Amino acid sequence: MPLMVWTQSLSVGVAQFDNEHKKLITLINDLFDAIQSGRGRQMLGSVLDELIEYTQTHFAHEEYQLKVLGFPGYEAHKREHEALGKKVLEIQRKYHGGATATLSMELMSFLKTWLVDHIQGVDALYVAFVKERGLH
């Protein structure tokens, strides 16, 4: 059973961002599998690195579009991304520093909850705006 499943309730109506959110969900599921199956530290570390890198790529894509389109909530949205970015980099730093315990189920539920809350709470705020400007 995957930890997360993308459903229409997570759609932001922009194909590129939906696809990127799906990829994030896949990476969170991969991390979950790696933890559950007790795979090695190195494996966990590389999945975590990939998830963090892809998160930054996705945030950059969203921020670029919101900026180009002149979305009024751009700054606030960017700050939300930065807050998560800081948190996950802290987790990554601790992990590579040897604190295996930080990569726990607690982290997984944090990532899952954060992603769902962000998509449905914060990303949802740009949906109507970007659609009106032809992004879909």
Q: Which residues bind Fe ion (CB under 5 A)?
A: 62, 123
Query: C-beta of 108: minimal distance to Fe ion in Å?
Result: 20
Measured from the CB atom, is 24 or 62 closer to Fe ion?
62
Residue 18 C-beta: closest distance to Fe ion, Å: 12
Residue 28 CA to residue 125 CA, distance in Å, equals 24
**Residues across the chain:** 136
Of 44 and 124, which CB lies nearer to Fe ion in the complex structure? 124
Smallest distance, Fe ion to C-beta of residue 59, A: 6
Residue placing its CB nearer to Fe ion in the complex, 51 or 123: 123
Q: Identify the CA nearest to 62 among candidates 41, 96, 85.
A: 85
Locus of tokens 């991304």: 81
Tokens linked to 120: 């449905």
